[in-house]
Amino acid sequence: MPTIEQVLERETEDWMRIPGVVGTGLGLCDDRPCIKIFAAGAPGPIDAAIPDEVDGYPVVVESTGRFTPRDTL
């Protein structure tokens, strides 16, 4: 079974092609490691394109808005 990091690395490129997806990452969901998909808008349409689980790891879509770089001091 691949690690969660390997799954994220393998799948991120395809997930980033889905309109509205602005990022991916690792997190905790109910105290369990999970993959997070960050969405610029409502997650509904993105939910339909992304499975709830990949290789036994839960996948969760979170509505975050667009990411923008911060000015550094």
> pLDDT tens-digit profile of 41-65?
777 788 889 999 999 999 999 988 7
Lowest mean pLDDT segment, chosen from 3-7, 27-31, 35-39, 63-67: 63-67
The residue behind tokens 């000015």 is 71
Label residue 37 exposed, middle or buried (CB < 10 Å: 0-12, 13-18, 19+): buried
**Both structure tokens of 6:** 């390997």
pLDDT at 70 over 80: no
| CA dist., res. 73 & res. 71, Å (int) | 7
